[in-house]
């Protein structure tokens, strides 16, 4: 199943490359770095007014209901939410270069899962990381947000980034503020 999902995601990426080849309207002077206003890191629960905030609330509810849920189970719960208006999937990932982080190698977690659309033309990627009990969660989150790139996609840019944690579980997402028309 993992191989099939990986192959499907790779195919979607190739299709997104082909579909973006002639885009002359993209702003080539736009800043490629993440600005601090796009990052929502608060002590209180994030607002559920945006897609990222809503999906974080789904993650938090599932974790509250099933504290022993794996990263993959949490990611699958998020990607199958009713606010997701596209065909998506979740898969386990290993430490290394992950989508959305340019040349930053994401390490320091025990297990992780990625959730994303099957088609790569939507600026959407999310992760659930399960850290060791003694891990420095705040440092891990800071490394993620410092090295993430809202413009990791060729043709589209994510509107928002959210990085939150509950215990040793870290929820990270870059996505549009809404998937509605």
Give 80-110 pLDDT, tens digit per residue.
988 777 788 999 999 999 999 989 999 999 9
Q: How confident is the model over 109-148, as pLDDT tens digits?
A: 999 999 998 877 788 999 999 999 999 999 999 999 999 9
Please name every residue paired with 171 in a beta bridge, in sequence order, or none if there are none: 128, 164
Q: Phi and psi (nearest 5°) for 50?
A: -110, 165
Tell whether 97 is covered by a domain. Answer: yes
What residue ranges in 37-140 does DSSP mark as E strands? 39-40, 88-93, 96-97, 105-106, 111-117, 125-130
How many independent structural domains does the chain possess? Answer: 1
Tell whether 27 is covered by a domain. Answer: no
Domain span at 127: 2-14+39-175
What residue has token string 């065909």? 87
Euclidean distance between CA atoms 62 and 109, whole angstroms? 20
Tell whether 169 is covered by a domain. Answer: yes
Tally of helices (H runs) and strands (E runs) in the chain: 4, 8
Counting Cβ atoms within 10 Å, is residue 108 exposed (0-12), middle (13-18) or buried (19+)?
A: middle
Mean pLDDT, to the nearest integer, of 4-16? 49
pTM of the full structure? 0.75
Report the DSSP pairing between strands 111-117 and 88-93: antiparallel
Tell whether 181 is covered by a domain. Answer: no
Tell whether 127 is covered by a domain. Answer: yes
Q: Which has the closest alpha carbon to 154: 179, 119, 121, 115? A: 121
Tell whether 133 is covered by a domain. Answer: yes
Report the DSSP pairing between strands 160-166 and 88-93: unpaired
| Higher per-residue confidence, 176 vs 4 | 176
User: What pLDDT is attached to residue 153?
Assistant: 82
Euclidean distance between CA atoms 20 and 70, whole angstroms? 35
Q: Which has the closest alpha carbon to 142: 169, 171, 163, 111? A: 163
Tell whether 24 is covered by a domain. Answer: no
Q: How confident is the model over 34-73, as pLDDT tens digits?
A: 333 333 333 466 777 899 999 999 999 999 999 999 999 9
């Amino acid at each position: 199943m993992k191989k099939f999902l990986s192959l499907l995601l790779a195919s979607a990426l190739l299709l997104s490359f082909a579909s973006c080849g002639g885009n002359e309207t993209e702003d080539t002077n736009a800043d490629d770095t993440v600005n601090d206003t796009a990052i929502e890191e608060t002590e209180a629960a994030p607002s559920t007014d945006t897609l990222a905030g809503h999906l974080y609330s789904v993650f938090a509810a599932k974790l509250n209901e099933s504290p022993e849920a794996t990263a993959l189970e949490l990611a699958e719960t998020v990607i199958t939410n009713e606010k997701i208006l596209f065909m998506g999937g979740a898969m386990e990932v290993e430490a290394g270069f992950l989508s959305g982080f340019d040349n930053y190698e994401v390490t320091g977690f025990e297990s992780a899962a990625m959730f994303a659309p099957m088609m790569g033309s939507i600026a959407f990627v999310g992760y659930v990381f399960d850290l060791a009990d003694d891990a420095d969660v705040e440092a891990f989150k800071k490394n993620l947000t410092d090295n993430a790139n809202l413009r990791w996609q060729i043709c589209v840019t994510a509107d928002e980034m959210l990085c939150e944690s509950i215990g040793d579980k870290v929820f990270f997402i870059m996505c549009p503020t809404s998937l509605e028309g």
